[in-house]
Amino acid sequence: MNQLFRNYLKQAGWFRPARLMRHHRQQRQGHPDWTRILDRDRSEWEAALERSRSGPKVLIATSFGGHLAVTPVESMLAVALTLRGARPEILLCDSALPACMACEVSWYPNQEAFLEFGPKPDLCKECFKPAHHMYQGAGFRVHRYSDWLATADHTRAEEILDETPYASIPALVVDGIAVGEHAMAGTLRFFARGTLDAEQHAESVLRRYLHAALLTTFSTQHLLADHPFETAVFHHGIYVPQGLIGEVARKFHTRVVNWHPAYRKKSFLFSHGDTYHQTLLHEPTSEWENMEWNAELESETLRYLESRWTGHEDWIWFHENPSFDLDELTQDIGVDLQRPCIGLMTNVAWDAQLHYDANAFPDMLSWLFATIEHFRGRPELQLIIRVHPAELRGALPSRQKVVDELRGAFPTLPSNVFVIGPESRLSTYAVMARCDSILIYGTKAGIELTSLGVPVITAGEAFIRNKGITLDAKSSEDYFELLQKLPLGERLVDAELERARKYAFHFFFRRMIPLEFMEPTGAYPPYRIATDSIEPFLPGRSRGLDIICDGILKGTSFVYPAEELLRGV
């Protein structure tokens, strides 16, 4: 490490320089070795590349080339689409952005260094080049952000930054693009907080993300104006830069496909038009409600949902060695299970902070505080608040802890309100299954609990809402009217229970599309492509991959017919 870089690390306040070196080593070694894989079938691959030159153009907007949970999937999709006659082209950031999804506050104990230098001296160093080498080595055209940014774009971005008051940034719209909303979402993710009130450098970091959002918008607009693509494919669909790419693509009438790793091992969620955070809320119930249902499908659904209690069939889970002994709930926390209990499940405060029309409250904490105040006047009921374990065990641990927020808002909680912290090993499912009903804002657990027959009231962007299964609050007034009906005193009736389990099967088995060649590593990168040839990527070899590629190229549904496979069709 040269002295100049040592001085930078010292100024940036790096407390673990070895972490950066490890990060750079992962970038160099973590991408799929497509040269090795393709060499085995080189002539077939070269022929496919030649055929693809006249095929439909697909933009694989990877952008953040250092995201090693992304490049295995998106480079694999580029290969698979080429083998189906399409012409994928790649978009990568080449250190053009002053902030992005790669940045997070834990990298920068000295935030002043981030404000002065941004990610360029450290995180950018090994982000672009390894990904560029991987994609070019496979024969794909790579577009760089800076190729599509002129001096006038930088000047315009600076002018907008200078003219926009801090308070106006979240609502800022430029060229019809909600740049402010995505800049805010990216900033909240940077700080791992649901609000910026407690952050000394909130405005400066938000302005960095706004700057990045503007440059992404301008660059993507120029690219799509000059190179029309039929489809743009990229991960997440939110934050900076992905959220802006989606906004621009929709403006240019380019079909958008977003994806994300799913819960079940070797499976992925794909969605049309927007991030799955938005699309699953409004997915037509006709996608699943008329599915032929039988005891075999119900049994498989319940078997998998039971596995969720320990997570042994998932590669995303947050309960490590959960305890199912509820003595802690009664003896240590003080809950009386002989009296009516209402469960409340939080979600991570900063996660996917976008605008949702369906929300009955402006944010999760507002909902939580208002709910506690309601229960202050309901001494006949007990409210059990389960704080999401992902606050501590998620990929990006939250710096805005619900327990801390509760202490600030309620120095003394009402005597009938009890809190299970994120560190507790108590099984969320075991606790919530004992409750009369459950209150949720955005957690996915509502899908599982309704399948057990537990009534659920939704107040926010939970995927289970709008499915004809839950009691969905459309406003705060509506929410409190629903609370007045508590306790409900009964489980879901048979027809409701069947509907809940149908949706659970649809969500976990049909929307989560399996790719059998994506092997979990148990480390980082989280999965690898387990093949040494192009064979698994050819049409007809993987039903899941065929469904994904058809969805990208033809706009067909990203629904895996798991029920047919279980019936042996």
Instruction: Give me the pLDDT at residue 110, please.
Output: 82
For residue range 387-405, what is the model confidence (pLDDT) as tens digits? 998 888 777 788 888 999 9
More confident residue, 468 or 352: 468
From CA 47, how far away is CA 372, in angstroms rounded? 64
Tally of CA atoms within 13 A in the half-sphere of 438 that contains its CB: 33
Q: Of 448, 441, 488, which is closest to residue 469 (Cα–Cα)?
A: 448
pLDDT band, residue 568 (cuts 50/70/90): low
Q: How confident is the model at residue 337 (pLDDT cuts 50, 70, 90)?
A: very high
pTM attached to this predicted model: 0.92
Query: What is the arithmetic mean of pLDDT over 236-254?
Result: 96
**Tell me, what's the pLDDT at 4?**
44
CA distances from 149 to 174, 353, 566 (A): 16, 28, 51
**pLDDT range class, residue 566, cuts 50, 70, 90:** confident
How many other C-beta atoms lie within 10 A of the C-beta of residue 127?
Answer: 26
Is the pLDDT score of 229 beyond 90?
A: yes
- The reported pLDDT for the residue numbered 523 is 84
pLDDT in tens, 307-325: 998 888 998 766 678 899 8
**Which residue carries 């320089």 as its tokens?**
17
- pLDDT on residue 565: 81
| 535: Cβ contacts below 8 Å, ≥ 6 apart | 41, 541
The CATH code of the domain at 293-508 is: 3.40.50.2000
34 backbone φψ class: left, alpha, beta (φ>0; ψ -120 to 50): alpha
Within 13 Å, how many C-alpha atoms sit on residue 143's CB side?
22
Is there a contact between 460 and 441 (Cβ–Cβ < 8 Å)? Answer: yes
Residue 109 DSSP label = S
Using the Cα atoms of residue 320, residue 325, residue 328 and residue 334 in order, give the sign of their dihedral. positive
Percent of the chain with pLDDT over 70: 92
Do the beta carbons of residue 364 and residue 346 sit within 8 Å?
yes
The pLDDT confidence band at residue 27, using thresholds 50, 70 and 90, is: low
Q: What are the extents of the domains in the chain?
A: 3-150+225-281+515-562, 293-508
The pLDDT mean for the chain works out to 91
Closest by CA position to 81, among listed 57, 63, 62: 57
Write down the number of H helices and E strands in the chain: 23, 15
377 C-beta neighbours (distance < 10 Å), count: 9
Residue 330 DSSP symbol: I
> Is the per-residue pLDDT at 206 higher than 50?
yes
Note the pLDDT of residue 431. Answer: 95
Q: Say which residue, 223 or 105, is predicted with more confidence.
A: 223
**Which amino acid would we find at residue 266?**
K
Q: What is the pLDDT of residues 481-521, one digit of tens each?
A: 999 999 999 999 999 999 999 999 999 999 999 999 999 99
Report the pLDDT value the prediction gives residue 13, as an integer from 0 to 100: 47
Three-state helix/strand/coil letters over 26-61 = HHHHCCCCHHHHHHCCHHHHHHHHHHHCCCCEEEEE
Q: How high is the pLDDT of residue 126?
A: 85
User: How far is residue 386's CA from residue 347's CA, in Å, rounded to a whole number?
Assistant: 9
Q: Rounded distance, CA 209 to CA 16, Å?
A: 25
Residue type at position 18: A
Eight-class DSSP state of 491: P
Instruction: Label residue 232 exposed, middle or buried (CB < 10 Å: 0-12, 13-18, 19+).
Output: buried
Q: Give the model confidence (pLDDT) of 63-117 as tens digits.
A: 999 999 999 999 999 999 999 999 999 999 999 999 999 999 988 888 888 999 9
Task: Determine the pLDDT at residue 3.
Answer: 47
Q: How far apart are CA 230 and CA 223, in angstroms?
A: 13
Distances in whole angstroms, Cα of residue 215 to Cα of each of 115, 132, 245: 17, 20, 11
**Cα dihedral 495→499→505→508 (10° resolution):** -140
Q: Is 219 helix (H, G, I), strand (E, B) or coil?
A: helix
310 against 555, higher pLDDT: 555
d(CA 15, CA 460): 39
